[in-house]
Amino acid sequence: MKKLSLVVSLVIGGLVGQNAYSNYYADDAAIKKNMLNENVFSENNADWQKAQEKAAEQRKAFDKVQMPERNSFPNVQVGQFSNIDVQKIAERYKKKVNDEKKTISGVIGFASFSMPDSSLKKLIADTLKVNGTVVFIGFKNNDFKETAKEIRRLDIRKGNIQINPNAFKQYKVDVVPSIVMVKANAEENMDEEGCVMPENYSKVTGDISVEYALEIMAKGEKGELQTLANDYLKQVKRGGGNE
């Protein structure tokens, strides 16, 4: 199934760190260092090809990292939104669970603290409208306190935020922001590398609203994914979920 792609805005790169999981995953500083300038590409021009090649190289580097055995990250229970508790985010990040195929379902916004403030705040607010989750690959500058400080600075008071580097691999996310819509129980059909099968999710990349991303999915997908996108669109137009 052909995945949907719009604006390549930010490229995840580098694998550095100092905390419990930093030997395995890139931090936000490394992501920022390797970001591409925001450009609109077409599939036929040279810049698009270069961007795709660079993303592929970074993907290969990520795949070479040895992942911890039997170590994954907890599934977020959606529909229970309150003021953001950074301590709980950290606890979920560090917690080990037995099911390494655990995935996040629903609508997921993949983000970085290096994104423009307005884009990041909008992504968090938009995903809240569909009871979705915003996922970061790591703490800001590999530091819990820096992350808490950044959330306060951005005045982000409500949303569902998760630190989950494994999700970036599961949905093959190489650039942020990306918006992914996932079928329920997607973990029941994963490939040998622990990635969700492409027929179980739809992905749009670019600095766009969640509503617009869902409209693209509704037009470009078929069957269950198309129905799911339309259902989420209705939820957005009704005024969202637990705002």
Structural domain boundaries in the chain: 10-237
Please count the residues of the chain.
Answer: 243
Question: What's the token pair of residue 66?
Answer: 């040895």
Burial 177-212 (b: 16+ CB within 10 A, else e): bbbbbbbeebbeebeeeeebeeebbbbbbbbbbbee
Q: What is the pLDDT of residues 212-243, one digit of tens each?
A: 999 999 999 999 999 999 999 999 988 766 54
Amino acid at site 131: N
Q: What is the pLDDT of residues 170-201, one digit of tens each?
A: 999 999 999 999 998 888 889 989 999 999 99
Question: What's the token pair of residue 54?
Answer: 């660079």
Beta strands in the chain (DSSP E): 10-11, 106-111, 133-136, 161-163, 175-176, 178-182, 201-205
pLDDT tens, per residue, the chain with 243 residues: 444 443 333 333 333 333 333 444 445 555 555 444 333 444 445 665 666 666 666 556 555 544 433 333 334 334 444 456 666 666 665 554 444 445 566 999 999 999 999 999 999 999 999 999 999 999 999 998 999 899 899 888 888 999 999 999 999 999 999 999 999 888 888 998 999 999 999 999 999 999 999 999 999 999 999 999 999 999 998 876 654
